[in-house]
């Protein structure tokens, strides 16, 4: 107990009496914190933009065409597949999902969006935040993501015009906005939802596809009666329904083109930033300890225990690191307020917490070598080095 008190006394006195030097070290840690938190937020934001719609599905399984390798754009299912799936015991509901991209042109600046066909009230259709769901059939109605509404000032009741290239011509279609949904970004684009039959009519398509009026879903979202029976139900579905393969939500997300590579890149950046942080901070504390060798010698010669000297170094590193992480966190918050909404920064509580914990650890980890050196050095040697 006395050692902890003495170690804290020495550590804090030194920080207090050398405020400028320690503030500079804390500032470097703050900049590393800023970088790590921004990379984490960017990773979360980019990931969100890619996976948000799939991650928020009210379903546990996703059905693909057999051998499509769980890639949504490669999968094209038969129209009656959803009905077959619904008949399997243990399935609560199943909803067909149709994906494509289009462009809203009735704006000052055209806006690229993901256009998803879905069935009202079934998995795949997100809950309505404002307004109502669209009617089925070929109703020229749409439900849009709140992100589209925020960016464009489109409101429920407005009519939007979209452009789709069909064959070799640009075709324009008008849709009435009847509702809003929230948090449904897909493939880095905000989404608009339309009925399946309407989707088939207005989606971009090649010359050969123009003659067909039958919409083929890309995937089917399956909601289970018992959400814990994912593996068993996956096997059962593949056994009962021909020509399909089944994946859980995470597998589906991981197979979104570019998602894994993108997340891997961002995570690698974060890991390297942390490693660089450990080296930089470790270097700082190593130099500091080397400068303090004579002082350590005096402390040990007059009867300070090794443990107390080491503990003092640890406490000092923790205090300075915590100060740096605190400043860095504050700076991150201030900067995030000034960033435009087009930059996909999402500060996820868990990710930020993990990053902060790792950042708090980089000081002691980085300073480990110098702490061991401080503890091990013989007092006589330390005095001579002075």
Partner 1 sequence: MSDIALEVRDLVKTFSLDGTTIHAVDHVSFQVKFGEFVALVGPSGSGKTTMLSILAALLTPTDGQVLIDGQDLAKMGEKQRVKLRREKIGFTFQSNNLIPFLSARENVEFMLRLNGKLDHASRIRSDELLARLGLAERLHNLPAQMSGGQQQRVAIARALIHNPALVLADEPTASLDTERAFQVVKTFANLIHENERAGIIVTHDLRMCQFVDRVLQMQDGKLIRVYEDKDEIMELATATIH
379 touches partner 1 (CB under 8 A): yes
- Of positions 8, 166, 295, 336, contacts partner 1 by CB under 8 A: 295
* Residues in the chain, overall count: 386
Query: For partner 1, which stretch binds (CB under 8 A), given 7-15, 65-73, 330-338, 368-376?
Result: 7-15
Q: Binding of partner 1 at residue 20 (CB under 8 A)? A: no
First CA to last CA distance, the chain? 30
Rounded to 5°, the CA angle 350-333-43 comes to 50
Shortest distance, position 11 Cβ to partner 1, whole Å: 10
Q: Is 310 in the site for partner 1 (CB under 8 A)?
A: no
- When the beta carbons of 2 and 169 are compared against partner 1, the nearer one is 2
Among 18, 153, 225, 268, binds partner 1 (CB under 8 A): 18
Kindly tell me which residue out of 17, 337, 341, 350 binds partner 1, with binding defined by CB under 8 A. 17
Decide whether 16 or 342 has the Cβ nearer to partner 1.
16
CB of 371 vs partner 1, minimal distance in Å: 18
- Token pair of 40, please? 């984490």
Segment near partner 1 (CB under 8 A), from 5-13, 65-73, 131-139, 152-160? 5-13
When binding is defined by CB under 8 A, the residue of 47, 195, 204, 297 that contacts partner 1 is 297
Half-sphere exposure of 4 (CA within 13 A, CB side): 1
- Give the number of other CB atoms < 10 A from CB of residue 69: 11
Q: Could you tell me the smallest distance in angstroms from the CB atom of residue 257 to partner 1?
A: 58
Among 287, 301, 353, 372, binds partner 1 (CB under 8 A): 301
Q: How many residues make contact with partner 1 (CB under 8 A)?
A: 26
Residue number, 31 or 305, with CB nearest to partner 1: 305
Answer for which of 232, 294, 354, 376 binds partner 1 (CB under 8 A) is 294
Q: How far apart are CA 53 and CA 56, in angstroms?
A: 5
> Is 230 a residue that touches partner 1 (CB under 8 A)?
no
Residue 132 neighbours by CB distance under 10 Å: 12
Q: Does 349 bind partner 1 (CB under 8 A)?
A: no
Q: Of 18 and 267, which has the nearer Cβ to partner 1?
A: 18
The nearer residue to partner 1, 188 or 373, going by C-beta atoms, is: 373
What's the min distance (Å) between Cβ of 322 and partner 1? 20
Whose Cβ is closer to partner 1: residue 18's or residue 153's?
Answer: 18
**3-state DSSP of the chain:** CHHHHHHHHHHHHHHHHCHHHHHHHHHHHHHHHHHHHHHHHHHHHHHHHHHHHHHCCCCCEEEEECCCCCCHHHCCCCCCHHHHHHCCCCEEEEEEEEEEEEEECCCCCCEEEEEEECCCCCCCCCCCCEECCCCCCCCCEEEEEHHHHHHHCCCCCCEEEEEEEECCEEEEEEEEEEEEECCCCECCECEEEECHHHHHHHCCECHHHCCCCCCCCCEEEEEECCCCCHHHHHHHHHHHCCCEEEEEHHHHHHCCCCHHHHHHHHHHHHHHHHHHHHHHHHHHHHHHHHHCHHHHHHHHHCCCCHHHHHHHHHHHHHHHHHHHHHHHHHHHHHHHHHCCCCCCCCCCHHHHHHHHHHHHHHHHHHCHHHHHHHHHCCHHHHHHHC
Return the range that interacts with partner 1 (CB under 8 A); candidates 86-94, 278-286, 328-336, 378-386: 378-386
Smallest gap, in angstroms, from Cβ of residue 378 to partner 1?
Answer: 8
State the Cα–Cα distance between residues 7 and 314, nearest whole angstrom.
9
Told to check if 299 binds partner 1 by CB under 8 A, we report yes
The only residue of 139, 298, 361, 369 in contact with partner 1, by rule CB under 8 A: 298
Interface residue with partner 1, options 88, 92, 369, 383 (CB under 8 A)? 383
Binding flag, residue 9, partner 1 (CB under 8 A): yes
Of 51, 201, 223, 300, the residue at the interface with partner 1 (CB under 8 A) is 300
Question: Footprint of partner 1 on this chain (CB under 8 A)?
Answer: 2, 6, 9-10, 13-14, 16-18, 294-295, 297-306, 378-380, 383, 386
């Amino acid at each position: 107990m006395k050692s902890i008190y003495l170690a804290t006394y020495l550590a804090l006195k030194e920080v207090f009496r050398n405020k400028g030097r320690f503030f500079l070290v804390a500032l470097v840690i703050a900049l590393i914190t800023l970088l790590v938190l921004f990379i984490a937020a960017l990773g979360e934001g980019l990931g969100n933009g890619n996976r948000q719609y799939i991650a928020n599905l009210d379903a546990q399984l996703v059905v693909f065409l057999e051998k499509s390798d769980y890639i949504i754009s490669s999968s094209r299912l038969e129209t009656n597949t959803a009905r077959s799936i619904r008949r399997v015991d243990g399935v609560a509901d199943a909803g067909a999902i149709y994906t494509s991209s289009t462009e809203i042109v009735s704006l000052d600046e055209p806006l690229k969006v993901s256009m998803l066909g879905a069935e009202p009230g079934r998995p795949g259709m997100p809950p309505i935040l404002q307004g109502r769901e669209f009617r089925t059939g070929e109703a020229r109605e749409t439900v849009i993501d709140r992100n589209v509404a925020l960016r464009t000032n489109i409101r429920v009741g407005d009519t939007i015009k979209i452009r789709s290239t069909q064959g070799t011509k640009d075709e324009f279609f008008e849709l009435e906005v009847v509702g809003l949904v929230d948090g449904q970004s897909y493939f880095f684009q905000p989404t608009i939802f339309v009925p399946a039959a309407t989707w088939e009519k207005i989606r971009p398509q090649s010359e050969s596809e123009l003659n067909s009026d039958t919409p083929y879903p890309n995937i089917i979202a399956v909601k289970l009666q018992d959400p814990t029976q994912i593996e068993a139900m996956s096997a059962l579905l593949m056994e009962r329904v021909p020509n399909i393969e089944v994946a859980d939500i995470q597998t589906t997300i991981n197979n979104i083109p570019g998602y894994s590579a993108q997340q891997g890149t961002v995570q690698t950046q974060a890991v390297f930033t942390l490693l660089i942080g450990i080296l930089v901070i470790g270097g700082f504390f190593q130099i500091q300890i080397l400068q303090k060798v004579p002082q350590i010698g005096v402390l040990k010669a007059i009867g300070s225990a090794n443990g107390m000297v080491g503990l003092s170094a640890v406490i000092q590193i923790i205090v300075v690191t915590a100060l740096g992480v605190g400043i860095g966190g504050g700076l991150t918050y201030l900067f995030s307020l000034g960033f435009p909404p087009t930059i996909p920064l999402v500060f996820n509580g868990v990710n930020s917490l993990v990053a902060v914990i790792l950042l708090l650890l980089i000081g002691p980890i980085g300073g480990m070598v110098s702490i061991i050196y401080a503890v091990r050095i013989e007092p006589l040697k330390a005095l001579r080095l002075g």
